Each structure stands twice: as structure tokens, then as C-alpha cells.
């Protein structure tokens, strides 16, 4: 039986795409492996959001392709965002590379790789196969969003990612995603609901809806009774038997309507957590970023959601050191963090991406200043986040049990509705069950407690 190894870099959407590819290989008679020496097909699903992710993927593939003891017939492939943006040029960086498939070609990956492997195994293996086949499939396809199916999350998982749309049309000046993920298009609601039903039948209790700008799902559809297509989808999922929790990521202030804020008041399965990228607290920098809103709108949306759901945890993304960012701009970002009291934040030093407007801007910030601002803001975020976690000590929380702790299999681990990790000490609980846990201790970003 041939085997395939799939390594994933990047976001939850990449993880979901890798699961789709894995399901196709399993259906074709392959087995999944983590052993590089055993694999007959090796695929790396790539990210292009930051240069570091691209360099990591290129470095890993270069090492794999240069192994002197590797089977000569192994098929090596890149897929995902870096494949979409760099396409055939990747063969120059890794000559032994066989296959490059883009973000709208995931449903063809198995077909291409299997055909190539079978042809090699049917011939005498020679040094010819160490040159790479150089098959490139990055063309965009109409209706690709309807091919996002055949989802198979890892065995035993009680949580799953569900892609509900593809692409982005916002054109932020620092972002390469519109050129790697294509135009914005939504999946039919019936397909999404059927996928979730199948996941629930396999034991999934929690789904996370994915989209580049997830709250713009179905924006071409009419507003019905004051509710957008996205909110109507949330309502249908909330009514689904067997599904216990609903999450979504990541929304954008544009298109964030009052109906979505109100959804937190009447949809009990909608988790008390939202990851809501702010990027900057300075209106001047937001304008340079081509983020079409003012920071006050973002802040008021956060406050409105917390008013609708008082226990709501808000996490965010922030870029420091964007071209032209002054100390005053940075201080405005820091003030916004203090005002909202985020439960956590991913802070990124601005990284120029090729073919983006920001990469060609004047007043690029030096690395030293970017590092200073990153360190300073991280200290602020961590102080606030730890204090908010510490406030949960002594409270009773509903925890979805996800499985044994990664560091100690005698303990269980799970998450609160607010997406905070919890280690459950003592007692027994079934994976996939939601149990009441009294929080006894907080060690920074992890909570500890016992089942009551």
C-alpha cells in the first residue's frame, strides 16, 4: 500500500485544505504517514502571508529532495498559497520538485500525484526520476468553491474546520492573499450544512467556519428579515441536532452588521469568542493599509459584542512597524489594546510581500524599531491576557473535552467557550463531552481545573 505524507504551514484554512487532500488519498487506497523515509508521496501545503513561512517550506522541501537514501520514485509536491503566487518558478528553487498545485486545484492533487507515482512504479527506476516531473497546476477555476468537500478531519477529533467561502477582494496594501486565494465566492448553504451533518455523524461536536472574510459569506444574497446570509447560516447550524458549538474566523469590520452583533444574544451554540483582526489603532495607518474603516468603528463593534455577550473573549491580529508608522501611531495602537482589553493578540512585525503596494512604500521602518514595538506591545497584551485568565480562577466553566493532554496523557485537555485551553486534572470524561470544570489555577495562558 503506498503512503503519503502531508505537512502543513499556515492558517486554519490550509489545515482544512490538507484534510481534504488526505481524504482523497485515503479513498484512493493510500495510507497516511509521518515517516519521511516511508512516504511515496510527500506534499507540503504552503503559506505566503509572511516571508518566514515561505522560507521554511522551501528549506524543508530542499532537504527532503536532497536525501541520498530516498526512494527514487518519490513524488514531491508543493500546494497552497506559495504555489499559487510563485507557480512554475518554484522548480528553479527546487529542481527535483515534481508537482506545484495552487489554491484552486486541491481537488486535483490526488489525481496528478497518483498518476505520476503509478507511472514511475511501472517502469525501471533510473536517475531520470531525480530530475523532477515539473507539473504545474495553478489556473483558477470557476465554481471551485463547490469542490471544497470530501472533508476528513483527523480520526477521533471532536472539532473540525469547515470552509464556507473562498477568496478575498479587499486588497489591503500589505496582503498577498487576494492574489493567492482568488476572487471572493461562497459555497451553497445546502452543501455546508450537509458537510456539517456528516461531521456530526462522525462525532464532531464543534465546527469552526472559515473564510478570508467570513462575515461576507453570501453577500450577494438578499437580506431577509434583517438577517444576512451569514447570520442565517449560523441560525441553521444552531438548530442542528448533535452540534454543540459554532465558531467562525476571521471577520472584517466591513460588512459587520448589527444582525451579527445581535446573534450573540440568541444563538446559544455560538461560542463566546471572536478573533477580530484590528491591525492598527491609528486611522492614518489604517488608511495606508487600505483598511476602509476608522479605528473607532472597530472599537465600538468590540464593545457592542461584549454588551451582547458579556463573557465574550476577543482576540486580534496587530501589525507593528508598517511603513510610515510613527511613535504616535504606535501609541494609538497601544491605547486601543488597553481600551478593549483583548484576551490575546497575535502581533506581527510588518513583513514586505512581493507585488503588494506596501512593499514599495517610502519610510520603511527599520528592524530595530519594529522589534522594540513588537516587544513592548507583547508585554502589554500578555499582562492583560494573563489578568483576564486569572479572573477565571474559582469559576465554573463548560469545557469541551478534546482528548488527552499533549504533555501528560493521564490528564485531559479541552477548551472553554471563550477558546481558552484547560487541563482537566483527575476524574474521567469522554472525548467530545461538555463537562463542568471548576478552575483552580492559572499559569499564564493555560487554566487547570477539576470536573464537578
Does a structural domain hold residue 80?
yes
Q: What is the pLDDT of residue 148?
A: 64
Residue 362 sits in the same domain as residue 409: no
275 strand-pairing partners = 315
Domain CATH number, residue 45: 3.40.50.12160
> 116 and 199 in one domain?
no
> Residues 29, 89: one domain?
yes
According to the model, what pLDDT value does residue 146 have?
Answer: 61
Same structural domain, 251 and 318: no
- What integer pLDDT is reported at residue 104 of this predicted model? 85
> 130 with 155, same domain?
no
CATH number at residue 437: 2.40.50.140
- For residues 131 and 257, membership in a common domain is answered with no
291 in a structural domain = no
324-374 confidence digits (pLDDT tens)? 999 999 999 999 999 999 999 999 999 998 889 999 999 999 999 999 999
Res 127: pLDDT = 52
Q: Which residue, 254, 271, 288, sits at the end of a domain?
A: 271
Classify residue 294: in a domain, yes or no.
Answer: no
Q: Return the CATH number at 367.
A: 3.30.750.200
240 located within any domain: yes
Q: Are residues 155 and 110 in the same domain?
A: no
The answer as to whether 295 is a domain residue is: no
Provide the pLDDT for residue 154.
64
Residue 154 domain-assigned (yes or no): yes
Residue 296 placed within a domain: no
231 shares a domain with 180:
yes
What CATH number is attached to the domain comprising 186? 3.30.750.210
> What total number of domains does the chain contain?
4
**Residue 230 belongs to what domain range?**
145-271
> Does residue 237 share a domain with residue 206?
yes
The predicted pLDDT at position 152 comes to 65
Q: What is the pTM of this model?
A: 0.89
Whether residues 336 and 229 fall in one domain:
no
Could you tell me if 385 and 401 lie in one domain? no
pLDDT of residue 183: 82
Q: Which residue numbers in the chain have pLDDT < 70?
A: 124-130, 141-155
In a domain, 337, yes or no: yes
Last residue of a domain, one of 376, 391, 406: 391
Asked if 235 and 349 sit in the same domain, the reply is: no
Boundary-marking domain end, from 245, 271, 297:
271
Residue 22 is predicted with a pLDDT of 93
The whole-number pLDDT of residue 345 equals 97
Amino acid at each position: 500500500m503506498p503512503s503519503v505524507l502531508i505537512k502543513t504551514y499556515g492558517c486554519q484554512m490550509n489545515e482544512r485544505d490538507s484534510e481534504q487532500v488526505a481524504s482523497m488519498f485515503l479513498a484512493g487506497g493510500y495510507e497516511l504517514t509521518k515517516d519521511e523515509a516511508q512516504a511515496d508521496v510527500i506534499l507540503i501545503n504552503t503559506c505566503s502571508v509572511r516571508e518566514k513561512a515561505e522560507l521554511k517550506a522551501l528549506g524543508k522541501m530542499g532537504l527532503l529532495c536532497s536525501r541520498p537514501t530516498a526512494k527514487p520514485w518519490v513524488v514531491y509536491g508543493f500546494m497552497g498559497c506559495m504555489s499559487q503566487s510563485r507557480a512554475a518558478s518554484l522548480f528553479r528553487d527546487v529542481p527535483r520538485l515534481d508537482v506545484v498545485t495552487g489554491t484552486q486545484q486541491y481537488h486535483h492533487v490526488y489525481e496528478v500525484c497518483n498518476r505520476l507515482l503509478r507511472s514511475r512504479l511501472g517502469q525501471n527506476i533510473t536517475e531520470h526520476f531525480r530530475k523532477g516531473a515539473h507539473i504545474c497546476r495553478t489556473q483558477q477555476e470557476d465554481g471551485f468553491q463547490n469542490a471544497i468537500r470530501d472533508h476528513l478531519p483527523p480520526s477521533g477529533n471532536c472539532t473540525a474546520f469547515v470552509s464556507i467561502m473562498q477568496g478575498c477582494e479587499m486588497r489591503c496594501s500589505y496582503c498577498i492573499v487576494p492574489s493567492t486565494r482568488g476572487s471572493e465566492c461562497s459555497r451553497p448553504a445546502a452543501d455546508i450544512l450537509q458537510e456539517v451533518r456528516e461531521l456530526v455523524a462522525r462525532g464532531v461536536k464543534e465546527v469552526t467556519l472559515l473564510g478570508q472574510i467570513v462575515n461576507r459569506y453570501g453577500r450577494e444574497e438578499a437580506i431577509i428579515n434583517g438577517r444576512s446570509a451569514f447570520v442565517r447560516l449560523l441560525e441553521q447550524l444552531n438548530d442542528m441536532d448533535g452540534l454543540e458549538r459554532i465558531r467562525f474566523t476571521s471577520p472584517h469590520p466591513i460588512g459587520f452588521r448589527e444582525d451579527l452583533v445581535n446573534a450573540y444574544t440568541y444563538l446559544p451554540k455560538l461560542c463566546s469568542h471572536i478573533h477580530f483582526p484590528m491591525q492598527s489603532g491609528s486611522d492614518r495607518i489604517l488608511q495606508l493599509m487600505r483598511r476602509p474603516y476608522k479605528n473607532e468603528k472597530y472599537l465600538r463593534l468590540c464593545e457592542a459584542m461584549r454588551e451582547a455577550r458579556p463573557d465574550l473573549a476577543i482576540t486580534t491580529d496587530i501589525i507593528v512597524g508598517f511603513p510610515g508608522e510613527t511613535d504616535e501611531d504606535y501609541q494609538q495602537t497601544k491605547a486601543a489594546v488597553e481600551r478593549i482589553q483583548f484576551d490575546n493578540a497575535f502581533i506581527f512585525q510588518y513583513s514586505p510581500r512581493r507585488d503588494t503596494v506596501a512593499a514599495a512604500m517610502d519610510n520603511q521602518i527599520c528592524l530595530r524599531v519594529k522589534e522594540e514595538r513588537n516587544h513592548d506591545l507583547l508585554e502589554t497584551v500578555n499582562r492583560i491576557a494573563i489578568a483576564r485568565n486569572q479572573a477565571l480562577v474559582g469559576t465554573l466553566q463548560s469545557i469541551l473535552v478534546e482528548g488527552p493532554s499533549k504533555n501528560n496523557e493521564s490528564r485531559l485537555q479541552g477548551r472553554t467557550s471563550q477558546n481558552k485551553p484547560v487541563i482537566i486534572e483527575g476524574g474521567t470524561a469522554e472525548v467530545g463531552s461538555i463537562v463542568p470544570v471548576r478552575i483552580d489555577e492559572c499559569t499564564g495562558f493555560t487554566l487547570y481545573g477539576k470536573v464537578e
